[in-house]
C-alpha cells in the first residue's frame, strides 16, 4: 500500500543559528523568502503526500499560526514534544497517531521532491525492511550522519558525526518506516539523555532487522550556521529546480534602480532611486531599500529598512531591522564565533538579529553578529558578537 502520510520533525531550536532563533525555531527561518519548513511541505505534497503530522516544540506557535490546519490541500495535524530530547524522542511523540507505515522527514533541512520520491519508490519495491533511508553522495558527512551499505543496498552501519576515513553516504533525513521501529527508539539507554532517531535505527540493525538505503541524485541543503542561509538562498536561486528569480508585482522599484538577477523581491518592497539590489539578494515582505543603497548576496528578512547610501554585502538580517543611512556591511570572509567555537574565514559580512537598530554611519567588521534589540549608535564600528539588547556607542 503506497505511503500517503508523513511525520515532519520540527520541534528543535537550531541553537547554532542563534541569535536568529531566539524568537522563532530554525524550521521557520527563511530559505529565500519562504520558511525552510514550507519547502519541506512542498516536497512532500509534490510527491503525493496528503496527510502530514508535524511534531512541534520550541517556538511551536510560530509554526502553527503560519500554516494552520492545511497546506496546499494536505491536512496538517500537530503533536507537541514538550522537552527537546532528540529526534527519536520527537518521533515517539507522534507514536499514538501512527498505526501504519509513514514517511519521516526533518523539518529544518531542505530536501528535493526527488529524494522523497526515491525513498517512497524504494519502500514500495522493498521486502521486509523496517526502515528505508534516503542517501546522497556528499563529500563532508562529519557534521551530519554517515551510512554504509552492502552491495545489495542493505544498511550495515549508520553513524552520527563519523570521524574515520571510511567512505560514507550522507543520511538525508528522509525515512520510510514501519511502526515497529518505535520499539527500537526506546532503547538501550539514550546517549547524553537524548533519544536519537539514528540510534534507534542502529538498534534495529543490531537486532537483525533489515534497513535499506536508496541513493538519490536529489538536492539536500542544510543551514547549520548563520552564513549557511546565504548559501541556501544562492543555491535555490541558481538551480533550475529551486526558486525562480522574481520581482513581486506589488513591489515598487524606482526607474533609476538597478536589479541584478537572480533576486527575489517580495510583496510591498520599495527599492529607491539609484540603488542596486542583487545578485543573489533576497528581500522579504515590506522591505525598503533607500536611495543609492547596495544590497548584494544578502538575505534581508521582512519589515526591514535599509537606509540611503547603506551597503549590505554577505549580510543576513532578522525581521524589523533598521540599518541607518550610510552604514556599511563590507562583506566576508571573517572569523565568526558560534558558541565556544570560532569559525575562520566564513563568508559572512554580518548577521543582524530581529529589531536591531543602527543609527547610521555604522561599520560592521566581517563576521559580526548582533543580537536582537541591540542599539548601535551613529558612527560606531562593531565587530565580534554583540549581545541582545546591548547599546553600542
Evaluate whether residue 234 is within a structural domain: no
Identify the domain boundary among 191, 222, 253. 222
pLDDT of residue 240: 64
Same domain, 150 and 120: yes
Evaluate whether residue 227 is within a structural domain: no
Same domain, 61 and 200: yes
Q: Considering just the CA atoms, what is the radius of gyration of the chain in Å?
A: 22
Evaluate whether residue 236 is within a structural domain: no
Evaluate whether residue 237 is within a structural domain: no
Report the 10 Å Cβ neighbour count for 153: 17
Same domain, 148 and 292: no
Which residues span the domain enclosing 256? 244-392
pLDDT of residue 372: 94
Q: What is the domain count for the chain?
A: 2
47 in the Ramachandran plot: left (φ > 0), alpha (ψ -120 to 50) or beta? alpha
pLDDT of residue 134: 92
Report the largest interatomic distance among the alpha carbons of the chain, rounded to a whole angstrom.
67
Evaluate whether residue 231 is within a structural domain: no
pLDDT of residue 11: 87
CATH code where residue 296 lies: 2.160.10.10
pLDDT of residue 50: 92
Same domain, 32 and 134: yes
pLDDT of residue 101: 82
Evaluate whether residue 63 is within a structural domain: yes
Identify the domain boundary among 189, 222, 255. 222
CATH code where residue 160 lies: 3.90.550.10
Evaluate whether residue 277 is within a structural domain: yes
pLDDT of residue 324: 97
Per-residue pLDDT tens for 135-193?
Answer: 988 767 777 788 888 878 888 888 878 778 788 888 898 999 888 887 787 765 555 55
Identify whether the C-beta of residue 320 lies closer than 8 Å to the C-beta of residue 304.
yes
Same domain, 252 and 197: no
List the Cα angle 230/235/237 in 5-degree steps: 95
Same domain, 248 and 313: yes
In the predicted model, residues of the chain with pLDDT beneath 70 are 1, 89, 95-96, 126-127, 139, 187-194, 240-241
Amino acid at each position: 500500500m503506497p505511503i500517503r502520510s508523513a511525520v515532519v520533525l520540527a520541534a528543535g531550536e537550531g541553537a547554532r543559528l542563534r541569535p536568529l532563533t531566539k524568537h522563532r525555531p530554525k524550521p521557520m527561518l527563511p530559505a529565500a523568502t519562504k520558511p525552510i519548513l514550507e519547502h519541506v511541505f512542498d516536497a512532500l505534497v509534490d510527491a503525493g503526500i496528503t496527510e502530514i503530522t508535524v511534531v512541534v516544540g520550541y517556538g511551536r506557535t510560530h509554526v502553527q499560526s503560519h500554516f494552520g490546519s492545511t497546506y496546499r490541500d494536505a491536512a496538517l495535524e500537530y503533536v507537541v514534544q514538550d522537552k527537546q530530547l532528540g529526534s527519536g524522542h520527537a518521533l515517539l511523540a507522534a507514536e499514538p497517531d501512527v498505526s501504519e507505515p509513514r514517511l519521516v522527514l526533518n523539518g529544518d533541512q531542505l530536501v528535493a521532491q526527488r529524494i522523497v520520491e526515491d525513498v517512497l519508490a524504494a519502500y514500495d519495491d522493498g521486502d521486509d525492511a523496517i526502515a528505508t533511508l534516503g542517501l546522497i553522495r556528499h563529500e563532508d558527512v562529519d557534521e551530519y550522519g554517515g551510512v554504509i551499505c552492502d552491495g545489495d543496498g542493505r544498511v550495515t552501519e549508520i553513524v552520527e558525526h563519523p570521524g574515520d576515513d571510511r567512505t560514507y553516504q550522507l543520511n538525508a533525513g528522509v525515512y520510510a518506516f514501519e511502526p515497529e521501529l518505535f520499539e527500537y527508539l526506546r532503547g538501550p539507554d539514550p546517549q547524553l539523555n537524548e533519544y536519537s532517531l539514528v540510534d534507534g535505527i542502529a538498534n534495529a540493525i543490531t537486532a537483525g532487522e533489515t534497513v535499506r538505503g536508496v541513493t538519490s541524485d536529489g538536492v539536500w541543503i542544510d543551514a547549520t550556521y548563520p552564513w549557511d542561509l546565504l548559501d541556501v538562498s544562492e543555491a535555490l536561486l541558481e538551480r533550475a529546480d529551486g526558486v525562480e528569480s522574481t520581482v513581486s508585482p506589488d513591489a515598487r522599484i524606482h526607474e533609476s534602480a538597478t536589479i541584478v538577477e537572480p533576486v527575489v523581491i517580495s510583496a510591498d518592497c520599495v527599492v529607491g532611486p539609484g540603488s542596486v539590489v542583487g545578485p543573489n539578494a533576497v528581500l522579504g515582505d515590506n522591505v525598503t531599500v533607500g536611495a543609492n543603497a547596495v544590497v548584494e548576496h544578502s538575505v534581508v528578512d521582512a519589515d526591514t529598512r535599509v537606509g540611503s547610501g547603506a551597503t549590505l554585502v554577505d549580510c543576513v538580517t532578522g525581521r524589523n531591522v533598521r540599518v541607518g543611512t550610510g552604514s556599511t556591511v563590507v562583506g566576508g570572509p571573517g572569523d565568526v564565533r558560534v558558541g565556544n567555537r570560532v569559525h575562520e574565514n566564513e563568508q559572512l559580512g554580518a548577521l543582524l538579529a530581529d529589531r536591531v537598530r543602527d543609527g547610521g554611519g555604522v561599520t560592521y567588521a566581517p563576521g559580526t553578529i548582533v543580537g536582537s534589540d541591540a542599539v548601535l549608535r551613529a558612527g560606531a564600528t562593531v565587530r565580534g558578537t554583540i549581545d541582545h539588547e546591548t547599546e553600542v556607542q
